[in-house]
Amino acid sequence: MRSYSRLLVCLTLLTGPAVASPLDARESPSIQEIPLPALTLPAQQPNFNSFDLTSALPPASILSAVTVPLPPSCSGYLGAPGTNSECLTTTGMSALSVQFEDCGTPFVVCRCADAQMSMDVALDRFSRVPVGLRRYASTIAVMATQTSANAYTLTTGETHFFGDCAMDTWIHELTHAYDFSGITSYASATSAWLDALSTDSCVPDTYSQTNAVEDFAQTSVLNVYMLIFGGNLPPGFQTACMSNQLAYVNSLPLFNTETLFGNTCDIVNSGPPARETEPPISLDPSRTFQTLPTADADLLPTSSRPHVQAATNSSRQPIPCFLTWITAVLPLLLVLWI
């Protein structure tokens, strides 16, 4: 049960000269908001507070977590007292190289010493992100917040969490990392996604109204829920008015349950290239994901739950490439404040 209120405010950002936008004071003045239009569809629910995905998502085991020097993607957010840095040099930041059981290469997770989320909690939540989505993550940074929990993801795939961010926030942010890995087009910018928005008569929640990118990430959270809970939406949500959004998201190769909930980062499909693609040294065939037929199916005996087949060592195939639609010299940065 989450103990904090969540205010969803998302900013879509682009590097370059500063623009007038409600950026948090910690943000670099070189980050700007991409002027994506807000959606006009009504929100079906005010927020996602009616559910928590944590217990439904089994954690991947951590094989090793080794202290490493701060990478530039983390040290760049350290600053002296009096600056607007995300983490103060007087507070300090640490970094771990974290090897999960289902990936052959480690992830880097940095944490500012005053962050509300402990490193253990952050690693637990990161490990629960399904491997098919987690493999799109880049550096994870865990910081403190003076307000409500919030987070943002850059188009580089780097995600910064502020405060005690719940599982749906982790799924949301790493969906951005997935989305931004598209080279020819973001999944949230395709004509199919925009068509879905023009056909449907609602979006999931108030935050989804921010723009098409945020709606895509929120719909991804709902789709993960539906894949786990036998096609059922969380309490209070109905399919009808957002069926095209759900259908589009679910049609993406990312949401193939065999690979999304599989046992390896080595996934070959027609989706955008992931950042972590190496298989683990040894695949664990017993790491099969249990999907739940109903919202209360976690009460069912384990043996009665349907399972996702674990991958074997013979699954590797060529990964298709995409061309970038980004023409700006500086990278696009997309930011979520929650």
Choose among 217, 65, 100: nearest CA to 152. Answer: 217
Task: Give the DSSP H/E element, type plus range, for residue 194.
Answer: helix 191-199
- Nearest approach, Cβ of 141 to Zn ion (angstroms)? 16
Report the interface residues with Zn ion, using CB under 5 A. 10, 214, 217, 336
What is the C-alpha to C-alpha distance for residues 321 and 95, in angstroms, rounded to an integer? 32
Report residue 129 as tokens: 């992100």
Least CB distance to Zn ion at residue 2 (A): 18
Q: Which helix (H) or strand (E) holds 99?
A: strand 93-100
Residue among 70 and 333 whose Cβ is closer to Zn ion: 333
Q: Which is nearer to Zn ion, 165 or 217 (CB)?
A: 217
C-alpha–C-alpha distance, residues 56 and 166, integer Å:
13
Shorter beta-carbon distance to Zn ion: residue 108 or 336: 336
Map tokens 């005010």 to a residue: 46
Query: Which stretches of the chain are DSSP H helices?
Result: 72-75, 119-128, 131-134, 167-180, 191-199, 212-228, 243-251, 257-260
Give me the sheet containing 93-100, strands edge to edge.
Answer: 62-67, 93-100, 107-112, 140-143, 159-162, 150-153
Check: CB of residue 157 under 8 Å from CB of residue 138: yes
Residue closer to Zn ion by CB (options 151, 227) is: 151
Name the β-bridge partners of 100.
Answer: 62
The DSSP annotation for 241-271 comes to GGHHHHHHHHHSGGG-HHHHTSS-S---SSS
**Least distance in angstroms from the C-beta of 65 to Zn ion:** 27
Between 176 and 287, CB nearer to Zn ion? 176
CB of 199 to Zn ion, least distance (A): 22
Which residue lies nearest Zn ion, judged by its C-beta? 336
Q: What is the nearest approach in angstroms of Zn ion to the Cβ of residue 292?
A: 26
Q: How far is the CB of 217 from Zn ion (least distance, A)?
A: 5
CB of 297 to Zn ion, least distance (A): 29
Nearest to 121 by CA among 68, 163, 70: 163
Residue 182's Cβ-side half-sphere holds a number of Cα atoms within 13 Å equal to 19
> How many angstroms separate the CA atoms of 302 and 292, rounded?
10
Cβ proximity to Zn ion: between 86 and 101 the closer is: 86
Residue 226, Cβ neighbours under 10 Å: how many? 20
* Residue 153 Cβ vs Zn ion, minimum distance, rounded to whole Å: 7
Q: Which is nearer to Zn ion, 101 or 158 (CB)?
A: 158
Specify the residue, 150 or 291, whose C-beta has the smaller distance to Zn ion: 150
Residue number with CB closer to Zn ion (115 or 336) = 336
Structure tokens belonging to residue 253: 């190769």
As a whole number of angstroms, the distance between CA 334 and CA 177 comes to 9
Q: CA 205, CA 6: separation in Å to the nearest integer?
A: 12
C-alpha 152/C-alpha 335 separation (Å) is 4
Q: How far is the CB of 67 from Zn ion (least distance, A)?
A: 30
